[in-house]
Structure 1
Amino acid sequence: MKNNVFDTRQLLAFATLARLGSFTRAAQELYLTQGAVSHAIKALEEQAGCRLFERAGRRVALTQSGEQFLRHVEKIMAEMKTARRGLDELSRWGHGRLRLGASTTACQYILPTVLREFKQSFPKCVISIDPGDHARQMEQLLGASIDLALMLEPEGNKELNFVPLFEDEMRFLVAPGHPWAREGRVVREGFAEETLIVYSHTSYTFRLVQDYFRTEDLPLTNILELGSMEAIKELVKIGLGVGMLAPWVARPEIESGALVSLPLGRRKLKRRWGVASLRGRRLSLGEETFVGLCQSVSSEIGGRAVAVA
């Protein structure tokens, strides 16, 4: 079966010979022998199925077919130069792209510090961030539409690589005037009457909360769900319910006394945060730098998580 794909080296020889009109000069420019250039043109003409040059002594001129073919070859060579420039740009320090997936919590409390430092090392890197819940991040990673995801550790997924960053603990947050705050503990006898303010029911965290209370045999009868950590904190402050958040998200409010953090019970509900990527995929320099910065920033968050718990 005839191969219809042209060799790029033959195309380069053709374009050079067409421009210079001399095998000798074309060979000199390409650092080849005249015989090598002649062989490339002969092979190209055989593949094209027509004569591309008319020979007149030492000079050569394009045939009508050659003139038409040259227009296409010039476009191909221009595209190849553009592609090479693009690859050269990507290989230079500070260039490239970084496609991130992150939960809304990560977007608000972790990413700003990480990306501020990242841009100092990679000022021309094009960064895109797709906020989404746990399931969406998993889907995007497996579909290769994002490179890295700042997320909670997925359960039993062998297709992803997960670099742990820090561990936090889900706790109750109440207003200072709440009976639990005055008691200094959670009074389980009145738990069923409390309104539990939690993050969106579509989130992975909500599923962890459900599983926890199911195991503890505690009813979740009154639930108010919100898609904003800040909104949860504000509603708890005015006494509309009991919030469930990781304390590091509410550190200023806890330290100022605007909110009180209490453990769920003797058994803790812990989560592990990290950076996930597709297993077997080699990370670029920019991606490795991003993971390293996440580890650096998260070590401080992890310390805060323990301190305010």
Structure 2
Amino acid sequence: MSDFRLKVFHSVAQNLSFTKASQELFISQPAITKHIQELESTYQTRLFDRQGGKISLTESGQLLLEHCERILDEYRKLEYEMHLLHNQYTGKLRLGASTTIAQYVLPPMLGTFISKFPQVELSLLNGNTREMETALQDHRIDLALVEGVTRLPNLRYTPFLEDELVVVVRTGSRLPIAEEITPEQLATFPLVLRERGSGTLDVFERAILRHNIKLSSLHVLMYLGSTESIKLFLEHTDCLGIVSIRSVSRELYAGRLRVVDVKGLEMKREFNFAQLQGQESGLSQVFMQFTQR
């Protein structure tokens, strides 16, 4: 029912690429160009600047994008609420999840949700916590599932699951490390950590600060972009890693990794749903309620 030209414009504006918009919407690139030209003709203004192989939004394009996001949001709400009159849950739900949640928490939830609501079209974007919050603010997703401890003022956070970070080392490591160490001893061992912007690093950094230890004082061998990378790195390197307990259950059971207790270092956290303030309705609420049963 919505003006398809707005969907085309929104896709081009988000991707800053006619080619990527074509792939995302499953239409030809000439068709993409035609829709954009029609919009430019309608509003008698140029929407994109083209320089070489790159495009960017003009001032007019930025204005249209702001309105376009609100209009498309309203169309999604309309579609959802009209079908709800017949007790049908249908429409698109664009989820975004930080890495740990996407890999170790979300898959079984998605499987059971799809079984119960087969008419809902789900999509999932994956990245670290900061990237998912940015995607939410840019209207590229409807609901984010994040693991950080910082809060952005224009987002609403709802806890849905507890988690704990642990220090792990490979079994048989040559490091002279006991079953339990102090936070101060942690600074004497090499570490592999998640990258800046990840919720895992946020929690770890705050935990050691409570013991007056700065991240810069630690011997960090490497920052990696996923927990899976850290686990593989640990299995072939003599160092310590900080990961979610949920992510290493198989490795602990198989005896490939072991937990090192750090006395007094508490690294508990909550996984949260994040939404734009004022947009707490529709399929996002259905998904949230479903996962919390």
In 1, Cα distance between equivalents of 2:83 and 2:280:
16
Q: Any stretches of 5+ residues in structure 1 without a counterpart?
A: 1-82, 297-309
Residue 156 to residue 192, structure 1, CA distance change in 2 (3 Å): closer
Task: State whether residues 104 and 132 of structure 1, in contact with CA within 8 Å, keep that contact through their aligned partners in structure 2.
Answer: yes
Q: Report the residue type matching 2:225 in the other structure.
A: G
Q: Report the residue type matching 1:278 in the other structure.
A: L
In 2, Cα distance between equivalents of 1:174 and 1:87:
48
Q: Which has the higher strand share?
A: 2
Query: For 2:288, which of 291, 297, 302 is the aligned residue?
Result: 291
In 2, Cα distance between equivalents of 1:137 and 1:130:
8
Q: How far does the alpha carbon of each residue in 1:94-117 deviate from its partner, in whole angstroms, 9 at most, with x for none?
A: 421101111122111122111111
Task: State whether residues 99 and 127 of structure 1, in contact with CA within 8 Å, keep that contact through their aligned partners in structure 2.
Answer: yes
Q: How far does the alpha carbon of each residue in 1:254-297 deviate from its partner, in whole angstroms, 9 at most, with x for none?
A: 1222211123331302221021212332421x32331133324x
RMSD: 2.9
Q: Which has the higher helix share?
A: 1
TM norm structure 2: 0.63
Task: State whether residues 182 and 263 of structure 2, in contact with CA within 8 Å, keep that contact through their aligned partners in structure 1.
Answer: no
Number of aligned positions between the proteins: 212
Query: For 1:161, which of 124, 143, 156 is the aligned residue?
Result: 156
Residue 128 to residue 90, structure 1, CA distance change in 2 (3 Å): farther
Which residue number in structure 1 is paired with residue 226 of structure 2? 228
Which residue number in structure 1 is paired with residue 178 of structure 2? 183
Q: Report the residue type matching 2:207 in the other structure.
A: Y
The equivalences for 1:70-89 within 5 A come to: none
Which residue number in structure 2 is paired with residue 240 of structure 1? 238
Give the C-alpha shift of residue 149 in structure 1: 0.6
Task: State whether residues 166 and 260 of structure 2, in contact with CA within 8 Å, keep that contact through their aligned partners in structure 1.
Answer: yes
In 1, Cα distance between equivalents of 2:149 and 2:212:
25
SS, match of residue 222 in structure 1: strand
Residue 86 to residue 102, structure 1, CA distance change in 2 (3 Å): closer
Task: State whether residues 101 and 131 of structure 1, in contact with CA within 8 Å, keep that contact through their aligned partners in structure 2.
Answer: yes
Q: Report the residue type matching 1:244 in the other structure.
A: I
In 2, Cα distance between equivalents of 1:151 and 1:269:
16
Query: For 2:257, which of 259, 282, 290 is the aligned residue?
Result: 259
Task: State whether residues 174 and 239 of structure 1, in contact with CA within 8 Å, keep that contact through their aligned partners in structure 2.
Answer: no
In 2, Cα distance between equivalents of 1:176 and 1:282:
46
In 2, Cα distance between equivalents of 1:231 and 1:153:
19
Task: State whether residues 175 and 181 of structure 1, in contact with CA within 8 Å, keep that contact through their aligned partners in structure 2.
Answer: no
| 1:135 partnered with 2:106 | no
Which residue number in structure 1 is paired with residue 120 of structure 2? 125
Q: Report the residue type matching 1:293 in the other structure.
A: F
SS, match of residue 168 in structure 1: strand
Task: State whether residues 148 and 203 of structure 2, in contact with CA within 8 Å, keep that contact through their aligned partners in structure 1.
Answer: no
In 1, Cα distance between equivalents of 2:115 and 2:137:
30
In 2, Cα distance between equivalents of 1:94 and 1:217:
51
Give the C-alpha shift of residue 156 in structure 1: 4.3
In 1, Cα distance between equivalents of 2:80 and 2:232:
49
In 2, Cα distance between equivalents of 1:155 and 1:108:
21
Q: Report the residue type matching 2:115 in the other structure.
A: Q
SS, match of residue 139 in structure 2: coil
Task: State whether residues 195 and 242 of structure 1, in contact with CA within 8 Å, keep that contact through their aligned partners in structure 2.
Answer: yes
The equivalences for 1:1-309 within 5 A come to: 90-91=83-84, 93-152=88-147, 155-178=150-173, 183-186=178-181, 191-218=186-213, 219-284=217-282, 286-296=283-293
In 1, Cα distance between equivalents of 2:146 and 2:128:
9
In 2, Cα distance between equivalents of 1:142 and 1:104:
18
Task: State whether residues 94 and 121 of structure 1, in contact with CA within 8 Å, keep that contact through their aligned partners in structure 2.
Answer: no
